Amino acid sequence: MTLQAVLFDLDGTLLDTAPDLANALNRLREDRGQTALTQAAVRKVVSNGANAMLTLAFQQSPGDPDFEELRAQLLAYYLENLASHTRPFEGIERLIEQLHAAGIAWGVVTNKPWPYTQPLMMQFSFASPPAVIICPEHVSHRKPAPDALLLACEQLQCEVNRAIYVGDHQRDILCGKHAGMDTIAVGYGYIDDNDSHLNWGAEHSVTKAEEIWPIIEAYLP
């Protein structure tokens, strides 16, 4: 198998978005006279999206009277400052350089909605631009369903077994498995204290982004 593409989850895998998400959440808490949550507390839930963040911060769940108002304001605050403190994880920029030099396409497959993903990705300049970006709006079923990875491969004109998916959540690994794609589970992302990237059944596991390239090299002729 000759590798043609490497696909990344976004939050917690490619970019460390937690600081800006935490700032938006704490701004919302400040509006309501509450003290700020620690970055560490927020990092543990951001992979599960705005709903999980609001549950952490306000003990609010979908269907509660104030939930939709809180959610709308949280997302508005986040959109105002998408990339003030967000950075690629250490080693990611070098990894993209290595992929570019090897002629391997790369892209993003995320559950983050397009209105936030697209302007966020515009803030970063890598050695090569992403060849594909797939968000929930582009498919009928979001991860862990395989739809997004299958669409990414279709747009890349890449056979599924010639791509690898990299992610920091079990849903990412399940998505890859459902698509018939090899996966890399990363341990540097947003993982709950009671979980481990080693438990998800990925073909490969790493603790830092610098460990991804040697895995990729093993797939090259």
Q: What positions carry a catalytic annotation?
A: 9, 11
Residues contacting 23, CB < 8 A, separation 6+: 77, 81, 84, 85
Is 71 within 8 Å of 51 (Cβ atoms)?
yes
Phi first, then psi, for residue 42 (nearest 5°) are -70, -35
Residues contacting 209, CB < 8 A, separation 6+: 89, 90, 91, 92, 95, 186, 188
Structure tokens at 68: 């939709």
CA–CA distance, 173 with 120 (Å, rounded to integer) = 24
For the chain, give me the number of helices (H) and strands (E)? 9, 8
DSSP string across 115-132: HHHHHHHTT---SS--SE
